[in-house]
Amino acid sequence: MAKIVPLRIRRRAPVALGALLLATLLFGSIVAPACATVSSNLPKVITAVSDGMLVLDTIETFINGYFASHPNPAEQVKVNNAIAHTKASLDAALRIASGAENLDQAKVDEAFVEFRTAYTDLMGIVAAYGVQPDQGGKLRAAPGGQGLTVPAPLAMDLKVKK
């Protein structure tokens, strides 16, 4: 039969935990002002990236439906590559912005420049298949898959605090 051994509880653990908490608070109060800009702007960047992915996923779904009823493998590969490139540039923008110190408007613009170019190019390609930009910020699809109107992603004109 196994012998039950009582656990020894160290009385120093609460003191060590308290010291660790104090050190964290002190370090946080010193570093926090420098991180305030990043932490206040990062949620806006994440929201813009999520919105952009939603728009791109909607375009991709529409285009896949279009090519299901109008097969053209060469064109479908071209469009799918443009969508993949645009998604990758949006993901890269998030990674750049997430790693930036003092995330300001200049750094956000720099992070999203590739996405903005890729998205503009993508909209030029998919226009031939019925995808159009909507200036009013609405997402609309025509009956029968004849057209799709998408709002510009928030990342196209993202403004952050200074």
Q: What pLDDT is stored for residue 2 in this prediction?
A: 54
Please, are residues 148 and 141 in contact by the beta-carbon 8 Å criterion? yes
Q: Is there a domain that residue 90 lies in?
A: yes
Percentage, residues of the chain above pLDDT 70: 72
Q: Considering its fold, how many domains does the chain have in total?
A: 1
Question: Is 80 within a domain?
Answer: yes
Q: Measuring CA to CA, how many Å separate 65 from each of 87, 127, 134, 140? A: 19, 15, 20, 15
Nearest of 62, 117, 126, 61 to residue 92 by alpha carbon: 117
AA identity, residue 130: G
Query: How confident is the model over 30-48, as pLDDT tens digits?
Result: 444 444 444 577 888 899 9
- Specify if 13 maps to a domain: no
Domain that holds residue 131: 37-157
Look-up of token digits 């993901």: 91
The string of pLDDT tens digits covering residues 71-124 is 999 999 999 999 999 999 999 999 888 887 777 888 888 889 999 999 999 999
- Asked whether residue 27 is domain-assigned, the answer is no
Model pLDDT, residue 122: 98
Per the domain annotation, does 136 fall within a domain?
A: yes
Say if 24 falls within a structural domain. Answer: no
Phi and psi at residue 132, in whole multiples of 5°? -130, 150
3-state secondary structure 5-18: CCCCCCCHHHHHHH
The answer to whether position 134 is within a domain reads yes
For residue 65, give every residue at least 6 positions away whose Cβ sits within 8 Å of its Cβ, in sequence order, or none.
145
pLDDT (average), residues 123-149: 82
On average, the pLDDT of the chain sits at 79
Query: Which pLDDT band, with edges at 50, 70 and 90, does 24 fall under?
Result: low
